[in-house]
Structure 1
Amino acid sequence: MSSTIQLSKRFREVLLDGLWIANTNFKDKLSDVTWEQAIAKIDSLNTIAMLTFHIHYYISGIVNVLEGGELEIKDQFSFDLPPIESAEQWESLLNRLWTDSEKFASLVEQMADSKLDEVFVDEKYGTYRRNIDGMIEHAYYHLGQIALIKKLLTN
């Protein structure tokens, strides 16, 4: 199996359909979160909605590069979640996350293995492989936070 197919499978595992590492994934963990729970604040923790937005922000930014565009995202804006005031707005955020996650996985899958060792946008960002692996690790990190916040909200 090619490296790009393996990476796309690992990405799908954490975002869309896997159980191997965390016994859950974003789609599963967020499937029964209401919009009120998503925006509920617990002390100084980020909200579930904010973490969902944050992960989507980076996925969509990398998708833009994988589609031939520029790297337009900036860390300073990665938590700039517009207010969520309804179930429809929460569902819209989730649907964008699922759509862009599948697009991300598909674009990685279609990539030649040799592309993984090329520079991603600028040498300071490392290679495509480093950025794809980083996105997977970043997603698991925040999935764990979401799982804990969800537990706190339901207890």
Structure 2
Amino acid sequence: MSTVLQLAKRFREVLLDGLWIANTNFKDQLKDITWEQAVTQIGSLNTIAMLTFHIDYYIAGLINVFEGGGLEIRDQYSFDLPPVESQEQWEVLLNKLLSDAERFAVLLEQMPDAKMNEPFVDEKYGSYLRNIDGMIEHCYYHLGQITLIRKLLN
């Protein structure tokens, strides 16, 4: 299997349909969350809604690069979640994450393997491979947080 197909498979595992590493994924963890649960603050932890926004912020930013745009995301804005005040707003946020995740995987599958060794936007960011691997690891990190927050809410 090519490198890009392996990466796309790993990306889908953590976001959409996998059980291999964490025995769960974002879609599974978020499917039954109500908007009230999503915005419930536990101590100083980020909310589930905030973590959902945060991960989608980075996915959408990388999609922009994959589609030929610039790297326009900035860490300082990655938690700037607009208020979520209804089930409909929560579902919009959740559906955006899932849609962007599938778009990311499809765009990744269309890349040639050789692209993985090219600089990502600027050499200071490393290669495409480093950034995609980093995105997958970042997703697993926050998936673990969401899983724990769900347990605390129940």
Q: TM bucket by the smaller chain?
A: over 0.9
**Superposition deviation, residue 151 in structure 1:** 0.2
Runs of 4+ in structure 1 displaced over 6 angstroms?
none
**Superposition deviation, residue 122 in structure 1:** 0.6
Give unpaired runs (5+ residues) of structure 1: none
* 2:91 counterpart letter in structure 1: E
Aligned equivalents of 1:15 and 1:130: distance in 2?
A: 18
**Superposition deviation, residue 126 in structure 1:** 0.4
TM-score by length of 2: 0.99
What is the match of residue 135 of structure 2? 135
**Cα deviations across residues 51-110 of structure 1 (Å, max 9, x unaligned)?**
000000000000000000010000000000000000000000011101110000001111
What is the match of residue 148 of structure 1? 148
Aligned equivalents of 1:35 and 1:67: distance in 2?
A: 32
* 1:31 counterpart letter in structure 2: K
Aligned equivalents of 1:18 and 1:139: distance in 2?
A: 12
What is the match of residue 63 of structure 2? 63
Aligned equivalents of 1:129 and 1:104: distance in 2?
A: 14
Aligned equivalents of 1:129 and 1:48: distance in 2?
A: 28
**Superposition deviation, residue 9 in structure 1:** 0.2
Aligned equivalents of 1:25 and 1:43: distance in 2?
A: 24
Give unpaired runs (5+ residues) of structure 2: none
What is the match of residue 54 of structure 1? 54
Match runs of 1:65-144 below 5 Å: 65-144=65-144
What is the match of residue 2 of structure 1? 2
What is the match of residue 16 of structure 2? 16
Aligned equivalents of 1:103 and 1:67: distance in 2?
A: 10
* Paired positions, count: 154
What is the match of residue 31 of structure 1? 31
Q: Give the root-mean-square deviation of aligned CA atoms.
A: 0.3
Aligned equivalents of 1:141 and 1:46: distance in 2?
A: 13
**Superposition deviation, residue 2 in structure 1:** 0.3
Identity over aligned residues, as a percent? 74
